[in-house]
Structure 1
Amino acid sequence: MNSPALPADSPAPAAWEELVTTALLGTDRRTPPGCEPGREAPVALLDAAAVETVRRRAGLRPARAAQRPRPAPEDPRPALPPAAARRLAMLLADRPGAAGGGRRGTAPDLMELLPQWLAAANERGFAPPPQALPALLDAARGRTDLRPAALTFAGPRAVWLARLNPDWRFALRATPGAGAALPHLEDAAQVQQLWQEGLFAERVALLSAIRAHEPAAARELLTTTWATERAEDRLMFLDSLRAGLGPEDEPFLEQALADRSRNVRATAAELLSALPESALAARMAVRAGTCVALDHTREAPTITVEAPHECDAGMERDGVVPKAPAGRGERSWWFGQLVEAAPLGAWPRRLGGRTPGEIVALPVADDWQSELHAAWCRAAVRQRNAEWARALLGSPSAPEAGGPGAVSLAERAKLLGTLGSGERAEWVAGFIAMHGLSEAFQLLGMCVVPWSAPLGRAVVDALNIARDAGSYPWSFSGVMGLAERCLDPAEASRLDGLLAVPDEPEDASPGAGGYWAEAFQRLVTTLRLRAAMIEELGTAGPSGGAAPS
């Protein structure tokens, strides 16, 4: 049907802004120029917009053609095997929440398998199919936890694509120097030029690269411009000294204790306290030692605590934050910081030559046990002291669900990080055997994937016990999801006996049996899918090295 023309006596078409305003308000409230209100007003508005569009386009001057982008860089890595490339496309095509709410059924969650697939592909050194890169970057855009592995797998073309699409700009921020090539570290002139003139991201990347190979050279480079750097930049540069931190860094860090930025001072103090032989650690040992003593007048030797009554200038210079958080007493706040920063090796000398295990077992007077043990936990994590971590963790079969004394599950999880992977898994397996799965989620997150055989068996046995007891099944969905991602795929055959719907006890949650059967079916299906993924990537990397399990 032909649209009616504008009235012959209508004025010239209105400005584009006027037409946009009319469209937003609606023709019932505002009509185009020269048109009466009524049924024809919307059509007249569209006609006027069409005429104005042609007029605007006709008035444009031809622009100079944009420069064609440079070709994408070559990726020298070998291509994925065809089966693995098809699997990647399937994983990237899955979208979270596509199945809607409610029960998940027996289908694996493919997006949750993508991080594991990427780790295996990166370990083997494969390059992605070029056509998969947009979907891969879209997935990484929506999940920050996926970005490091996704950008490693995407390789140099990720930065090339990010420069063409603002939606993928995170790849520029996540890549040191935004993908710029660093000079050869032996070329002193080029290194100095980049350090003096480069962008902040390039300078951070340069400092980190030098620190990884020559810690002293990186520290010396930093001293050349330290006094003129911005406070936020000094903080980032100082944080790079964590890699390869050693006694040689102490003089520089001691100077940073007098920095005008509180955050820089706090970071310098933290790094110094991680060096048990540093002067700051010695000062903190003296301060903490005056607060803790052993009382032999009681029935059993008991630790007594006398928290500091003030935070003096020396304490503040050494990183003690004077203002306590809301709801926290000042004296306990200062005391915790002193103990946390004191070297753990000083306590046996202070407390009668006892071992860490014997010290942790001592009673603590006047309700100071929680504060003291929590500070020792933070010190053990900061100083990477496995002996103290074992003492504070205690036996996994101990009846106290929260650990010896006042060590919480969150603190236990951090302490586990100081132990080797095998010892960590063994401890968590023992904890699950004693306490079940209700409090083990945080601890399982600290264990290396795939879980060791004893840990995997402990998790499956605990799930089976919960199922047979008629426990509320949805309470274990988090652990079941972890098992899907972390259980060794070789364990799938052991689970076949758990796929049937169990007989439900009288006091069981309604429908629990069906849920448990679905959950175990999904677990078995996911484990077999993971095994297939690894097989598709090959049992050895392109260089011939052994592939990870």
Structure 2
Amino acid sequence: MTRTVPELERLLQIGTARARPLLENVVPPSFDMPAIAGTDSSQEQRLWLSLAALDLWQRAGHAPSAAGAHAGGGAPTATGDLAPCPARAESLLGALLQGGQSAALLGEWLGQLYRHGAHLPDRFLVKMLQLATEQKQLRALVRQLLGARGQWTARLEPDWEWAVDGGAVEDRAAIWETGSPSQRKDVLRAWREDDPAAARLALESAWKAEPPESRASLLSCLGVRLQGADEPFLEAALDDRRKEVRMEAQRLLARLPGSALSARMLERLRPLVQVSRPLLRAARLDLTLPQERDAAMVRDGVGANSHPGLGEKAGWVVDMLACVPPEHWQDQFGCGAVDCLALARAGEFDAVFIRGWSGAVQQHLENGSSPQLLSWLSALGALWLDTDPQKRLAFPDAFSRACAALPPDQRYQLLGQLLDTGRAEWQRDPGRYQLLDEAARQSATAWPPELSRKALERAYDALSIVISQANLHWWFVQMIGGLAGAVDPAAGIAIEPALRQRAQGIAVLQDSIDKFTRLVQARHDIYLSFQEQA
């Protein structure tokens, strides 16, 4: 099968008269149809009938008998522990694929299939493997929903290796040696999940021969199950000639608990950061800006990032702060996250500390949440809400970027705290709506019904702000578009009449509500299609 498709396409281009041996050697018996066309059939007849057989195979997800040797046997009929897909949901998937729907809507269908405990319908296996190969955000779900036949089908094409569980382990070495750049990266990530040490050793062995343009991408795979044993290799990568490689190594070492890079950054910060406790005034954090950046600082990534609104030397401090675990400052100052932020706000360089600590929280959340990190994130959220909207521009994404790294239930809890603030605060501070929009667009799963209801009530309140201000219409259009893909569909359908009535007479707002309604209705149809028995 691997050679059949491109070779048959090539035959159509060059003609059978010029490629008779090619047809004889490439087409498996199940594709070659002399019994139908007659033993004396022409090469052209055989080619067209073989193409028809191939098309039927692709539509049905079945394999020709000659492919058995390639796949290790005939197609299995078992699907493991996964249940069949409900008929209505299967029909809806066909409509979604035919209509060329967005990856987000297909992702929602796949998510419902996963929650239903079912496998992908056999007739869509090939199409879904092709689609997820192109749209990588679908891969994790597709891999879990293949069933035994899907696993067998995935072994037919090298491009589908990402979908194979366990059974492809023996093929990893070969694909690692000869695969395309994207295939090798996918294999290395899967390898890290199963055996982090072996994957790192494979990368180390091949490192010197790797093309410079591939090194940063492959190095990022060590972020999967990052561990202390990776540190020597990452430290060596800090000396790579390519900037992208050095930056990736710096990012991973900053995430690594107890890394030497974090210790070096802390030693640089010690003489620069001091707590001042003046008489009759609140305690504050004082910062002395570094006067120069030596070669060792450059090697560790100080100054590698841009920080709009801050001076160059202040940006160096942000880069150093982002590499130190935030809980260190709780130990040094003898107070919690809220009080650490209060110390920073009382000083001159509050934006520097906020940005640096936000970066540290975000980086370390990639390793998993902890009570200390959650306390920092909660404190940052409260600070974001309490900061004057104009001054907030000094650190615009401090909360939303870090919040994106949280597990869904913890992210929902923080978002609920935001939504529970009073209506008056929202009307005075449109930045809260921006945060709501960002949270919706970052969400990979539907919000719980109660959280969705509160968010949509805020959207309804927002209409009272924008209907009389044409320059704010675009803002509502963007926000309602983000919410359409995140809120509970039933909650969206319930509030649609109220939204429409309030926006009556304003074409651009009505149009955005039309799009909102179509999307939540499509998501609701997906949900309902899984309620029937398979």
* Same topology, TM > 0.5: yes
Q: Deviations over 1:367-418 (max 9, x none)?
A: 522222111111110012222222222167636347979442x221112234
**Residues 205-254 of structure 1: per-residue CA shift (max 9 Å, x gap):** 44323321232333334333434434344333321111111223223323
* CA-CA distance at 1:356 after TM superposition: 1.6
| 2:330 aligned counterpart, secondary structure | helix
Task: Say if 2:69 is the partner of 1:81.
Answer: no
Aligned partner of 1:314 among 288, 293, 296: 296
Look up the SS of the partner of 2:485 in the other structure: helix
1:435 is aligned to 2:426: yes
Residue 273 (structure 2) aligned to one of 292, 297, 302: 292
- 1:236 corresponds, among 211, 217, 220, to 217
Counterpart AA for 1:318: D
Structure 1 stretch 83-92 or stretch 283-292: which is displaced more? 83-92
Q: Does 1:460 align with 2:492?
A: no
User: What amino acid sits opposite 2:253 in the alignment?
Assistant: L
**What residue in structure 2 maps to residue 392 of structure 1?**
380
Higher helix share: 2
1:120 to 102, 108, 112: 112
Q: Is the 8 A contact 2:85 2:119 kept in 1?
A: yes
1:478-523 CA-partner distances (Å, limit 9, x unpaired) = 332333332223436743762773597xxxxxx13x8767766775
Amino acid of the residue matched to residue 339 of structure 2? E
CA contact (8 A) 1:450 1:487 kept: yes
Q: Distance in 1 between matches of 2:201 and 2:235?
A: 15
Question: Contact 1:285/1:343 (CA < 8 Å) preserved in 2?
Answer: no
Aligned partner of 2:327 in structure 1 is 345
Residue 275 (structure 1) shift: 2.2
Change (3 A) 1:425 1:453: farther
Tell me the residue number matched to 2:403: 416
What are the equivalent positions in structure 2 for 1:101-250 lying under 5 Å apart? 113-123=105-115, 124-128=117-121, 130=123, 172=159, 175-176=160-161, 185=169, 195=176, 200-250=181-231
Relative contact order higher in (CA < 8 Å, ≥ 6 apart): 1
Change (3 A) 1:501 1:517: farther
Pairwise CA RMSD: 4.4
Is the Cα–Cα contact under 8 Å of residues 336 and 371 in structure 1 kept in the other structure?
yes
- 2:27 counterpart residue number: 68
> SS at the partner of 1:341?
coil
Aligned: 1:481 with 2:468: no
CA distance in 1, matches of 2:393, 2:285: 13
Q: In 1, Cα distance between the equivalents of 2:86 and 2:139? A: 23
Mapping of 1:252-401 within 5 angstroms?
A: 252-297=233-278, 299-321=281-303, 329-350=311-332, 352-363=333-344, 367-384=348-365, 385-394=373-382, 398=386, 400-401=388-389
SS in 2 for 1:293: strand
Structure 2 CA distance for partners of 1:364 and 1:246, relative to 1, 3 Å: same
Cα displacement string for residues 413-436 of structure 1 (whole angstroms, at most 9, x for unaligned residues): 112234423323313423685325
Question: How many correspondences in the alignment?
Answer: 448
Over 3 Å counting, the alpha-carbon distance change for 1:129 and 1:356 in structure 2 is same
- Matched-pair contact (CA < 8 Å) for 2:440–2:486: no
Contact map agreement 1:321 1:334 (CA 8 A) in 2? yes
Secondary structure, counterpart of 1:371 in structure 2: helix
Distance in structure 1 (CA, Å) of the matches to 2:362 and 2:274: 23
- Comparing 212-221 with 368-377, which one deviates more in the overlay? 212-221
Equivalent position amino acid for 2:382 in 1: G
State the identity as a percent: 23
Tell me: CA distance 1:150–1:112, structure 2 relative to 1, closer, same or farther (3 Å).
Answer: same
Could you tell me how far apart the structure 2 residues matched to 1:464 and 1:387 are?
Answer: 31
Query: What one-letter code is carried by the residue in structure 2 that aligns with 1:309?
Result: Q
Unaligned stretches of 5+ in structure 1? 1-56, 97-109, 164-170, 505-510, 543-549
Greater shift, 382-391 or 393-402, is seen at: 393-402
The Cα of 1:288 is off from its aligned counterpart by: 1.8
Q: Distance in 2 between matches of 1:466 and 1:402?
A: 20
Which secondary structure does the structure 1 equivalent of 2:386 belong to? coil
Among residues 525, 528, 531, which one is paired with 1:532 in the alignment?
Answer: 525
Which amino acid is the alignment partner of residue 304 of structure 1?
A: D
What residue identity is the alignment partner of 2:27? R
**Paired letter, 2:282:** A
Aligned with 1:362: secondary structure?
helix
CA distance in 2 between counterparts of 1:217 and 1:480 reads: 47
Q: Is the 8 A contact 2:503 2:510 kept in 1?
A: no
User: Structure 1 218/375 Cα, relative in aligned 2: closer, same or farther at 3 Å?
Assistant: same
Question: Whole-Å Cα distance in 1 between the matches of residues 331 and 293 of structure 2?
Answer: 25
8 Å CA contact 2:86–2:532 kept in 1: the answer is no
CA contact (8 A) 2:89 2:526 kept: yes
| Alpha-carbon distance in structure 1 between the residues aligned to 2:196 and 2:128 | 39
Equivalent of 1:444, from 440, 443, 447? 440
Alpha-carbon contact 2:191-2:198 (below 8 Å) kept: yes
Q: Alpha carbons of 1:340 and 1:456: their partners in 2 closer, same or farther (altered >3 Å)?
A: same
Contact 2:155–2:164 (8 Å) recurs in 1: no
TM-score if structure 1 supplies the norm length?
0.67
Cα distance change of structure 1 residues 418 and 325 upon mapping to structure 2, 3 Å threshold:
closer
Aligned to 2:96: 91
- The TM-score, its normalising length taken from structure 2, stands at 0.68
